[in-house]
Homo-oligomer: A and B are copies of this chain.
Amino acid sequence: MTRKLRLGMVGGGQGAFIGAVHRIAARLDDRFELVAGALSSDPQRAHASAAEAGIARSYADWREMAQTEAARQDDGIDAVAIVTPNHLHAPVATAFLEAGIHVICDKPLAVSLAEGQALARLAHEKKRLFALTHTYSGYPMVRHARELVEAGELGALRVVQVEYAQDWLAEPIEQSGTNKQAGWRTDPQQAGPAGCLGDIGTHAYHLASFVTGMKPKWLSAELHTFVPGRRVDDHVQAMLRYENGARGMLWASQVASGAENALRLRVYGTKAGLAFDQENPNELWFTPLGGAAQRLTRGRVTSAIAAHATRVPAGHPEGYLEAFAQLYQDAALQIEALDAGKAPPPESRLLTTVDDGVAGLHFIEAVLASSAAQGQLQEVRAG
């Protein structure tokens, strides 16, 4: 076996949801060992969290961690996982890139376009991996969907329908002060100007782009805040136009009573349609025009790209953690290749890049602008 890669983590202290998820994901396929961390800005909480997670080297400060780890000749970390609130993604990533350390960063890339673009330039300059953990692109059936589109099985694409509905912010739970996650996610200082839009709207945007291979060129959008006193949007709706003439709609809401984590994508082309529902990720629906709907299943579909992301046979469901683990597995493949000066293996190519992250920030900018102008048609810039 190749040696395991050494991983550090910034953020993800006790009680944080996404930090624990990253740790399981990194461990699941046995390609990383977590050896260093700056898990909290509160030093005491940082050390207690690190001890609980079995992390050998605990730092009170991520700047110090970047420098110290970079300086360790033999056993410094190969990569850092960034799982802080959004506003720290860019500064932390910058510090580790500067130190020559690969970065695996939770989404969104940054809280402003300018910040994200600077990060992208730096990542390219430093030739380090910059992987953005858009979890849902780790599902085998999402990757198979992309393959079907690429192979022309849907014909020319016409319609994209993507939505992401949750209900966990249907009430003003951030106002009690007890829900740490709700707190920072609805605080523009920590989450950025886009609330629901940045948190889950970008997942919807990314999933649609990932599967279709297309980014909308223009959009008309509206943000809305339903819960009184909330400081960011909790609902976004948008109409999309693509350069090839395709049309689309995107809806994301965190006040959709009864919805758990309902990320769904439907794509219709001249020859067929497909549908994916994140809550049932072991299946993908494919319906040829005039034919019967087919339930394609993980483990039975034969694309190499789906097989690469599959651990257990058909009928043995995989889930969210496996999808997340897939991103780490792909990151490991790319890091090994980069460190060896080789091209990353093709099966790892679906990892979300820093440039994808910049595209997501352009999308956010366009939605903010259109919404501020009563839904006026807005161009989505690129680059």
- Complex: how many Å from CA A296 to CA B299? 23
Given contacts A159-B235, A270-B257, A297-B292, contact A53 B318 (CB under 8 A): no
Residue ID in chain B nearest A255 by CB atoms? B158
Smallest CB separation, A277 vs chain B (Å) = 10
- Partner of A256 from the list B30, B261, B268 (CB cut-off 8 Å) is B268
Among the listed stretches A69-77, A219-227, A336-344, which one makes contact with chain B, having 4 or more residues with CB under 8 Å of it? A219-227
Q: Which residues of B contact A251 (CB under 8 A)?
A: 161, 249
Residue ID in chain B nearest A296 by CB atoms? B292
Residue ID in chain B nearest A54 by CB atoms? B1
Given contacts A28-B28, A255-B159, contact A290 B300 (CB under 8 A): yes
Q: Which residues of B contact A213 (CB under 8 A)?
A: none
Among the listed stretches A8-16, A90-98, A108-116, A369-377, which one makes contact with chain B, having 4 or more residues with CB under 8 Å of it? A369-377
Q: Which residues of B contact A319 (CB under 8 A)?
A: 282, 312, 316-319, 322
- Asked whether B54 lies within 8 Å of A30 as measured between CB atoms, the reply is yes
- Asked whether B239 lies within 8 Å of A220 as measured between CB atoms, the reply is yes
Most buried by B among A23, A51, A260, A296: A260
Q: Which residues of B contact A249 (CB under 8 A)?
A: 237, 249, 251
**A320 an interface residue at 8 Å Cβ cutoff?**
yes
Q: Which residues of B contact A312 (CB under 8 A)?
A: 17, 21, 319-321
Restricting to A206-244, which residues have a CB under 8 Å from any CB of B? 220, 222, 224, 226, 235, 237-239, 241
Smallest CB separation, A201 vs chain B (Å) = 14
- Asked whether A226 lies within 8 Å of B245 as measured between CB atoms, the reply is yes
Given contacts A30-B54, A237-B249, A239-B375, contact A257 B313 (CB under 8 A): no
Q: Which residues of B contact A256 (CB under 8 A)?
A: 159, 268, 273
Restricting to A282-337, which residues have a CB under 8 Å from any CB of B? 282, 286-297, 299-301, 311-322
**A64 an interface residue at 8 Å Cβ cutoff?**
no
Residue ID in chain B nearest A261 by CB atoms? B315
Residue ID in chain B nearest A314 by CB atoms? B260
Smallest CB separation, A196 vs chain B (Å) = 12
- Asked whether B292 lies within 8 Å of A294 as measured between CB atoms, the reply is yes
Q: Which residues of B contact A377 (CB under 8 A)?
A: 374-375
- Asked whether B315 lies within 8 Å of A317 as measured between CB atoms, the reply is no
**A280 an interface residue at 8 Å Cβ cutoff?**
yes
Smallest CB separation, A309 vs chain B (Å) = 13
- Asked whether A279 lies within 8 Å of B322 as measured between CB atoms, the reply is no
A2-33 toward B: CB 8 Å interface, digit per residue (1/0)?
00100000000000010011011001111000
Smallest CB separation, A137 vs chain B (Å) = 15
- Complex: how many Å from CA A224 to CA B241? 10
Smallest CB separation, A188 vs chain B (Å) = 21
- Asked whether A1 lies within 8 Å of B226 as measured between CB atoms, the reply is no
- Asked whether B288 lies within 8 Å of A258 as measured between CB atoms, the reply is yes
- Complex: how many Å from CA A20 to CA B316? 14
**A37 an interface residue at 8 Å Cβ cutoff?**
no
Smallest CB separation, A282 vs chain B (Å) = 7
- Partner of A376 from the list B51, B271, B315, B376 (CB cut-off 8 Å) is B376
Please list the residues of chain A having a beta carbon within 8 angstroms of any beta carbon in chain B: 1, 4, 17, 20-21, 23-24, 27-30, 51-54, 154-155, 158-159, 161, 163, 166-167, 170-171, 220, 222, 224, 226, 235, 237-239, 241, 245, 247-249, 251, 253, 255-262, 268-273, 278-282, 286-297, 299-301, 311-322, 374-377
Known: A1-B54, A311-B321. 6 other contacts (CB 8 A): A30-B54, A159-B255, A257-B272, A257-B289, A258-B268, A295-B295
